[in-house]
Structure 1
């Protein structure tokens, strides 16, 4: 299979996950909700982050003629109506996980309203508003304008809380660089409950070095932190007031992640130059968050030889040659890694017997699909960057176009 075809085949099958694994019962309170993952034991759990990726996936499906405009419009409108009227929220922030049918907080998880997952959902909703306009834009406006960003703002320490309980208030902190970059865009750009521009200066920028690469790394070093915001916001031509270009930073982080796998191939059979991109994923013993050093000491304990294809595939805009080579390697050498929805979530050759995931995770399929689309056409980037709230935040932050 040629490079071009493996990319398109993975994109189509990733789209199929979002289209097929949704609640399509129009009489259900949870219409439009999308599964968190297809792995066993998660059959009734929806993820709002998965829905965020799924809303953008619908647009890709229309543009690639996988579904009709009418089908996409109807699904999108119904999904946003579900979030406006039925989904549990506090101050406009939704819970990570929902019951697929009722849209209520899923009882199987100790959960709280999530700022990062709400942000990922809103990112998808923004692309829907820009693509469809009309009624869909109106639904997005109502959902976005009720989000009380100030509720999640720790004024004394100038950063976002990581979680929130109604009884005790905010807890935890987004105090270092990670996947939260579009939280600043949406919070600063809010027309109703904005946070001050200075919040963007509240998190620590800690330069890390691995091999020949110097970059800002997150404490855990997982590659998704360098990808998720970039699925929607095109950082490529923007430099912040401190001179940081976050796109360039993700290029270095992706190359460092690949180099770590190369350097570790004598330690783990799964790791090498075409099997790389350590990121959060399913592992042989459950969900893990491995990463590239330097990182917290406990991350090293999660290194077990597991690799997720979305690590390399989700970096295709940063490392096109290396990402495509990895995708071809996975397809050509690991047939057990290929399934109904394209690449299964992860695999591990360092356990007995060799392990392959039995399903996929929505956010992993999402980062793969959106980054492939941005690599090929820039569609999702173009829609997101057109949004007036996004443009307002860029202006307030004083970011300069290079």
Structure 2
């Protein structure tokens, strides 16, 4: 059995501040008329992206089991990641939109997935169950669908799976019996989640629960990908959390503000914290109370986070090899491993799978490991820097980084140490370390956000999701498309 680590358990505390990065002048001076911001008209991409999107889609289409379970990673043997199921369902739908598979093929695959999930055993015992009270364990056996090891009953990973399921429920809108069954099953699965059971007396939602030890002590609060947890919890049709929950989530926001001027933003160092909610929820032009006060929306906040990461790579305060205006992007990803190496002037601490991001921000850590998903999953936020960066990354690193399913998970040009034993990747003495695997939760934002940049297709489908609309309105969002949504 492969042990897979929870990305939320590997985030580290913020380190020293970098005031030199707060202005971001290098970023805002760099602009291009080639790529239009989302929402201003037709969006086109260079031919390379069609190949990238098809390869990324193929990961989800080819690696899913006949039951619809998607592996956490490949080619390493792994369990099913329930979050990867959510990303996979959305990827399959995008494949139908692009003509790579038919609507009927995707309908049948999603329906098989939902039927399998709906019939898995649920219970509070530690063995022999897939979940409890409507939530699923983070990792499931690829054959049986049952809990793997001591993995947690995960609020965020269940939420990510539910996002994909709700996308399917909105997208498959025809009257034929199979699409009707799909919608019915989708809403039943999502509404089973007893969010009111998970909520604590202080209105916070814990990150998870173990049958052996109970609720995880750490809650979802502050600024990160937990936005989607609270939107779904508030929008539940049967088990919503209490009024005031969104305010409990946003209460720590004052601790998360970073930057000045056009880069002032709610900060969270790894880019996945800005991408996961935004891949499914269209935050453009809608505002909750904190963002009304700030004067910009969460989409703009994520754009600023993208520009700040770009500026960080150019400044390169840690002095890593390979960082520049085109090679950048930090998030949770695979890494070279747990090594502490004494270099000429300092000790370098390398990690395996870990959250990564600018060291001046919450949960920041930087060991020179770059993840293509950090940049590609942000293309809708800042296409003028992400699109050319992707092309240069492909040209510069070639087939060693870009393979069967697109970009491998990560690479580290600074890690050139051939005498260190490697399990997670390969090392070249000149070009450094490259990961072996593709990860479902990193592949997902690539294809999803590229679809949003091209056609806004995921966002537009989710405008029709009653759960999302209810959740946003109960959280106090107003404005934009939400005013006409039902």
Is the shorter-chain TM-score for this pair beyond 0.5, marking a shared fold? yes
Q: What residue number does 1:27 align with?
A: none
TM-aligned CA deviation for residue 39 of structure 1: 4.4
CA distance in 2, matches of 1:393, 1:37: 31
Aligned counterpart in structure 1 of residue 99 of structure 2, from 48, 61, 65 = 65
Tell me, yes or no, if the aligned pair for 2:204 and 2:219 is still in contact at 8 Å. Answer: yes
Secondary structure of the residue that 1:144 maps to in structure 2? helix
Q: What residue number does 1:356 align with?
A: 434
Q: What residue number does 1:313 align with?
A: 376
Q: What residue number does 2:286 align with?
A: 238
CA distance in 2, matches of 1:397, 1:370: 25
Q: What residue number does 1:99 align with?
A: 141
Aligned length in residues = 385
CA distance in 1, matches of 2:309, 2:187: 38
Q: What residue number does 2:333 align with?
A: 281
TM-aligned CA deviation for residue 265 of structure 1: 6.8
TM-aligned CA deviation for residue 165 of structure 1: 2.6
Q: What residue number does 1:327 align with?
A: 390
Tell me, yes or no, if the aligned pair for 1:32 and 1:75 is still in contact at 8 Å. Answer: yes
Distance 1:211 1:237, change over 3 A: closer
CA distance in 2, matches of 1:362, 1:264: 29
Q: 1:43-192 alignment to 2 at 5 Å?
A: 43-86=77-120, 88-107=130-149, 110-133=150-173, 134-155=180-201, 157-166=202-211, 168-171=213-216, 172-192=218-238
Secondary structure of the residue that 1:235 maps to in structure 2? coil
Tell me, yes or no, if the aligned pair for 1:92 and 1:148 is still in contact at 8 Å. Answer: yes
CA distance in 1, matches of 2:318, 2:78: 41
Residues 92-101 or 266-275, more deviating: 266-275
TM-aligned CA deviation for residue 3 of structure 1: 4.7
Instruction: Give structure 1 stretches of 5+ with no counterpart.
Output: 25-30
Higher relative contact order (CA 8 A, sep 6+): 2
Is 1:292 the counterpart of 2:358 in the alignment? yes
TM-aligned CA deviation for residue 293 of structure 1: 3.6
Tell me, yes or no, if the aligned pair for 1:35 and 1:100 is still in contact at 8 Å. Answer: yes
TM-aligned CA deviation for residue 227 of structure 1: 0.7
Secondary structure of the residue that 1:62 maps to in structure 2? helix
Structure of higher CA gyration radius:
2
Tell me, yes or no, if the aligned pair for 1:345 and 1:357 is still in contact at 8 Å. Answer: yes
Tell me, yes or no, if the aligned pair for 2:196 and 2:242 is still in contact at 8 Å. Answer: no
CA distance in 1, matches of 2:213, 2:410: 38
Q: What residue number does 1:346 align with?
A: 410
Is 1:33 the counterpart of 2:69 in the alignment? yes
Tell me, yes or no, if the aligned pair for 1:50 and 1:366 is still in contact at 8 Å. Answer: yes
State the TM-score, normalized to the length of structure 2. Answer: 0.76
Aligned counterpart in structure 1 of residue 267 of structure 2, from 217, 230, 236 = 217
CA distance in 2, matches of 1:166, 1:372: 39
Residues 169-178 or 66-75, more deviating: 169-178
Secondary structure of the residue that 2:189 maps to in structure 1? helix
CA RMSD between the two structures: 1.7
CA distance in 1, matches of 2:233, 2:367: 38
Tell me, yes or no, if the aligned pair for 1:208 and 1:294 is still in contact at 8 Å. Answer: no
Secondary structure of the residue that 2:188 maps to in structure 1? helix
Give per-residue Cα distances to partners, 1:165-198, cap 9 Å, x unaligned: 3455322211211101111111111121110231
CA distance in 1, matches of 2:116, 2:148: 16
TM-aligned CA deviation for residue 229 of structure 1: 0.3
Give per-residue Cα distances to partners, 1:215-267, cap 9 Å, x unaligned: 1113xx11110110000000011111231511111011111111111111770
State the TM-score, normalized to the length of structure 1. Answer: 0.92
Residues 202-211 or 344-353, more deviating: 202-211
Q: 1:2-21 alignment to 2 at 5 Å?
A: 3-21=45-63
Distance 1:396 1:265, change over 3 A: closer
CA distance in 2, matches of 1:69, 1:275: 37
CA distance in 1, matches of 2:85, 2:153: 16
CA distance in 2, matches of 1:217, 1:19: 34
Tell me, yes or no, if the aligned pair for 1:265 and 1:272 is still in contact at 8 Å. Answer: no
Is 1:208 the counterpart of 2:257 in the alignment? yes
CA distance in 1, matches of 2:436, 2:45: 25
CA distance in 2, matches of 1:129, 1:272: 42
Instruction: Give structure 2 stretches of 5+ with no counterpart.
Output: 1-43, 122-129, 174-179, 338-351, 417-428, 481-486
